[in-house]
Amino acid sequence: MTLSRRGMIISGIAAGGGLAIAYGLAQLDDGDARVKFRLTTPEQFVLHAYVKIARDGRITIAVPQAELGQGVTTAIPMMIAEELDADWNRVCYELAPLDKDYGSYAIAEFPRAFMSPGIAADVTRSAMWHVAPLVGMTITAGSSTVFGNFEYCRTVGAAARLMLLQAAAKVLNVAAADLTTKDSQVFHSASGRTLGYGELAEAAAAIDPPSAPTLKAVAAQTVIGQPKLRLDTPEKVDGSARFGIDVRLPGLLHAAIRHSPVFGGTVTSFDAAGAMTRKGVVKAVQVGTNAVAVIAENTWLAQKAVSEMGVVFQSPPGPAFDSAAAMESYPSHFDDTDVSEIHADDGVAVAMTGAAKTVEAIYATPYLAHLCMEPMGCTALYEPAADGDPKHAKITVWSPSQSTTLSAQNAGRIAGVPAENVQVHGTLMGGGFGRRADMDFVRQSVQIAMQMPGQPVMLTWSREEDVRQDTYRPGTAARFRAGLDAAGEMVSLDFVIVGKPVSADFNARNDGLFKSDPRKDKGMVMPMLASPYALPKMRLALNARENPVPNGNWRSVTMSHNGFYLEAFIDEVAAAAGKDPLAFRRHLLRDKPQHLAVLNAVVDKAGWSEPLAPAAKGGKRGRGLSFTDAFVSVIAQVVEVTVATDGALTVDRVVSVVDCHTVVNPNIVVAQVESGVIDALSAALYGQIDVKDGAVVQSNFSEYRLVTLAETPVLETHVLPQGGHPGGIGEIGVPGVAPALANAVFNATGRRLRQLPVARSGVVSV
């Protein structure tokens, strides 16, 4: 086993234990990532796979995580710059090249989220730190960027700083211990001499990384925790930022695609000759079994030609899937004999039977689309081998995806070439929300490019294809039952959910590492399985249904529906127990002081105890509460609404208090929470995908509405960091909005909102 520049040994002490952890042992060729990182700027000196410095002192930080609007191109440089003692004004970023050295350490941090502190968690974490670089998986999902890279990135910065100190010590002929650093400079106070990092970069790059750099104390940090402006904002404002759709290469051709509108359908025939009659069209090809594409000189020509090309599709045998009929049938499957019990406490049935009172509610949420602003697409270049052997060919993709690793694996599989002949260049992307963790558009771009050897081809989906060929959040229905004793205390809880789980579908499509049995998907019963609430004896069950609709990861995944189910039901149980919903939640969090602090903070910021201002013209006002623990962070939210006399709903205000433990950049935290609120409101008020006769009905924004600027409520977000390893922030703002909204509607009208979207609920109108 060799040691790479990323894979240096860093000894640390795990929290709660005394275990020395060897961080980042990697069976990799030393220096490969550094060589790739330097290719874009040969004049700079690479100290580490993540850090290169120019002679003028400019510092470039490699960012292997996907930037899809959430701010990783600022957060990762901040973590490294902190320990590097870098002048933030001289720091810039660069999307990292494809290399195992950039594999995420998120899997090594999962014990923090799912295991109690102690020796077992320490041993597991230590083992995972060895495994992570061997796996070398780079993926941006599950709000894991800061959570998964916080310790590693700071260690990178600390190691690079020590390398610069050692280089300075040689130049000045003094001991490194006599030197200090600040703002990208090394100081020797005894002589008054100063050396800039740019002057030392070449010498420092030749020094081996130290094995155990000491990290700063929290009190000494000057970058982490500060509201730094995002590094990518200027280029996005002036138009120089390069998204996937902005890739430009010599000889670039453009492709548009048309899929079978019916899921599972296949191409029977298409008029390739007819498409070729349009000037500027180069070729018409079949893509897989279910789609055709036109390659042309520009995207508009390609889309026009493919829309007019006579394509005949064959629908799959059997009855066509109908989402309305399926959703209507789901409640009849709550008690099927083949329901999978994911979790069942001893005595839960007896406790339910012996309860003084039983509360039951049935909820449902529809299919949802992602609607990224930049539609799906990818650019690929297939280069045949000189010897004619297909296995010696090369494939290069410019991929706006959430994983360069999965992009490479899928591209290599489609092209039939070994991993060493696959190159992936990551790009910025106009939204992801989990959709770009799927690799269908990468696979298609490679298939199309193989029809044009030696010439790059950019595939761009139309908006209609983007809506109708998404990987959707599944429609689900769930039933909650709670048993209460005579004092209104919960003594039992039963939850069963019916729907098609995401994990098995996703992994089967995308060369996923973790194959799973959909009948045993624990994610479908979260957050109850790991709730901070003092819940009673529980039974958590899943009835996994099968259908042809491709399911994918939608922002906050199962929490996007289960968060609604749990927090809406908690309000119902509180009402049945004759208790205030706030007091009821406080009781459930009685043993969780940090969680309780977040709950107390949101009711304080929202003025929960103060009466709402009266509604105009006889309408009614209401406020609702929710609490969410997910993605290793905690959030509490209050929604205020007005219901007019005609039943029209207006969302007036959303107040959020979030604890992500340690904040890297508060500006990014607030932006992510509030963007999540907007996503969640769009879904709760309007979001629904319908499948009729096997095909998606909606096709564009006109039929799949999003919240407009005029409808956006007052948003107030407060950050309450309580210390510790940082949690995720990109998805935590989503789950609690729908239940807080539903609880506010009940507070205003006395009517329960148990089905989404609001627009189709019949309870209120929007």
Q: Mean pLDDT throughout 7-33? A: 37
Local confidence band at 115 (pLDDT 50, 70, 90 cut-offs): low
Local confidence band at 516 (pLDDT 50, 70, 90 cut-offs): confident
Domain 323-368+472-760 in the same topology as domain 11-238:
yes
Instruction: Return the ∠ at Cα 753 (arms to 751 and 759), rounded to 5°.
Output: 115
The pLDDT of residue 513 is: 61
Which pair of structure tokens corresponds to residue 187? 């100081």
Residue 166: Cβ-neighbour burial (10 angstroms; 0-12, 13-18, 19+): middle
> Residue 96 — φ and ψ, nearest 5°?
-70, 150
Q: What is the CATH architecture of 244-316+376-460?
A: 2-Layer Sandwich (3.30)
Residue 715: Cβ-neighbour burial (10 angstroms; 0-12, 13-18, 19+): middle
In terms of Cα–Cα distance, which of 502, 554, 561, 568 is closest to 731?
A: 554
The pLDDT of residue 27 is: 31
In terms of Cα–Cα distance, which of 33, 37, 66 is closest to 439?
A: 66
Alpha-helical (H) ranges within 537-690 are: 559-576, 581-588, 593-606, 666-685
Does pLDDT of 20 surpass 70? Answer: no
Does pLDDT of 582 surpass 80? Answer: yes
Q: Kind of pairing, strands 422-426 and 394-399? A: parallel
The pLDDT of residue 512 is: 64
* C-alpha pair distances (Å), 384 with each of 250, 399, 418, 450, 457: 18, 20, 13, 9, 15
Q: Say which DSSP state 213 is in.
A: P
- Strands of the sheet containing 180-182, edge to edge, are 180-182, 185-188, 193-196
Which pair of structure tokens corresponds to residue 559? 């929490």
Q: Say which DSSP state 67 is in.
A: -
The pLDDT of residue 17 is: 29
Q: Kind of pairing, strands 394-399 and 377-383? A: antiparallel
The pLDDT of residue 361 is: 98
Q: Say which DSSP state 196 is in.
A: E
Does pLDDT of 30 surpass 70? Answer: no
Does pLDDT of 406 surpass 80? Answer: yes
Given the candidates 3.40.50.1440, 3.30.420.40, 1.10.1060.10, 3.30.365.10, the CATH classification of the domain at 323-368+472-760 is 3.30.365.10
Rounded CA-CA distance 161/184 in Å is 9
Q: In what helix (H) or strand (E) does residue 308 lie, and over which residues does it extend?
A: helix 299-308
Domain boundaries, the chain: 11-238, 244-316+376-460, 323-368+472-760
The size of the chain, in residues, is 766
Rounded CA-CA distance 679/369 in Å is 11
* C-alpha pair distances (Å), 591 with each of 118, 534, 586, 723: 19, 8, 9, 18
* C-alpha pair distances (Å), 515 with each of 103, 219, 412, 510, 521: 20, 44, 20, 11, 11
Does pLDDT of 298 surpass 80? Answer: yes
CATH code of the domain made up of 11-238: 3.30.365.10
Task: Lowest mean pLDDT of 115-124, 251-260, 516-525, 559-568, name the range.
Answer: 115-124
In terms of Cα–Cα distance, which of 59, 284, 288 is closest to 181?
A: 59
Model confidence over 632-656: pLDDT tens digits? 999 999 999 999 999 999 999 999 9
In terms of Cα–Cα distance, which of 105, 70, 59 is closest to 665?
A: 70
Alpha-helical (H) ranges within 626-760 are: 666-685, 737-749
The pLDDT of residue 105 is: 79
Does pLDDT of 155 surpass 50? Answer: yes
Q: In what helix (H) or strand (E) does residue 122 lie, and over which residues does it extend?
A: helix 119-135
Does pLDDT of 15 surpass 60? Answer: no
Average per-residue pLDDT for the chain: 93
Provide long-range contacts, Cβ within 8 A and 24+ apart, for 191-198: 195/168, 195/171, 196/57, 197/53, 197/57, 197/59, 197/86, 197/164, 198/53, 198/54, 198/55, 198/56, 198/57, 198/58
Which pair of structure tokens corresponds to residue 175? 């001991």
Rounded CA-CA distance 50/18 in Å is 29
Alpha-helical (H) ranges within 577-635 are: 581-588, 593-606
The whole-model pTM stands at 0.94
Local confidence band at 116 (pLDDT 50, 70, 90 cut-offs): low
Which residues is 91 bridged to in the sheet? 59
Rounded CA-CA distance 471/375 in Å is 13
Rounded CA-CA distance 215/151 in Å is 9
Rounded CA-CA distance 165/108 in Å is 30
The pLDDT of residue 704 is: 97
Which pair of structure tokens corresponds to residue 538? 């529980």
The answer to whether residues 49 and 102 touch, using CB atoms and an 8 Å cutoff, is yes
Does pLDDT of 358 surpass 80? Answer: yes
Does pLDDT of 7 surpass 50? Answer: no
Q: Mean pLDDT throughout 485-505? A: 96
Q: Say which DSSP state 239 is in.
A: T
In terms of Cα–Cα distance, which of 706, 711, 675 is closest to 688?
A: 706
Which residues is 242 bridged to in the sheet? none
Does pLDDT of 19 surpass 90? Answer: no
Which residues is 62 bridged to in the sheet? 94
Which residues is 459 bridged to in the sheet? 255, 378
The pLDDT of residue 26 is: 32
The pLDDT of residue 114 is: 67
> How far does Cα 176 stand from its chain's mean position?
42
Q: Mean pLDDT throughout 221-247? A: 97
Rounded CA-CA distance 589/568 in Å is 17
Rounded CA-CA distance 146/70 in Å is 11
Residue 13 CB coordination number (10 Å): 11
Rounded CA-CA distance 632/527 in Å is 12
